[in-house]
A = this chain, B = another copy of it.
């Protein structure tokens, strides 16, 4: 089991986007150089986020991306599910119904106990991810991780990189 690298990129991008002033956008190219990741591939990930409704995109010369809703309303789970897809990690192939001593049951039969346990664990995983928001992460990064100098540098970079479509 392994999460794609795009999850990490998307999460960091969301944190950066959350600090933009209202009406400002950031192009994928800028976000890519900010994190030193392949620009074209990050663009793809951001498109997926846009289709999932986590970010909004504006095309055109002074276009870019911003969060589609308040940072307090974007959870880490939203981002992970957008990038990875909301399918469950464990897929039950119902192999209990096969072989010489199969389980007999129609469509409404109780679920396979192994699948149930796996899905319960996934529910716990999702619940944990849903309990933390982008706003929370961004705040704590500023207060607990960055020095005032680094904070300032980041703010200046954002001010220089941001675009203001149709202002």
Which residues of A come within 8 Å of B, CB atoms?
A: 1-5, 7-9, 11-12, 15, 33-37, 76, 80, 84, 87, 89-93, 95-96, 98-104, 110, 113-114, 117-118, 120-122, 124-129, 132, 137, 140-141, 144-147, 150, 153-154, 157
Contact = CB atoms under 8 A, between A and B. Distances in A.
Most buried by B among A37, A91, A117: A117
Copies of the polypeptide in the assembly: 2
Contact of A8 (B12, B34, B90, B140): B90
Interface of A is mostly: helix
A99 B36 contact: yes
A73 to B, nearest CB: 17
B113 A140 contact: yes
A29 to B, nearest CB: 13
A120 B146 CA distance: 22
B113 A137 contact: yes
Contacts of A101: 34, 150, 153-154, 157
B114 A121 contact: no
Given A11-B114, A76-B118, A33 B99 contact: yes
Contact of A76 (B1, B5, B117): B117
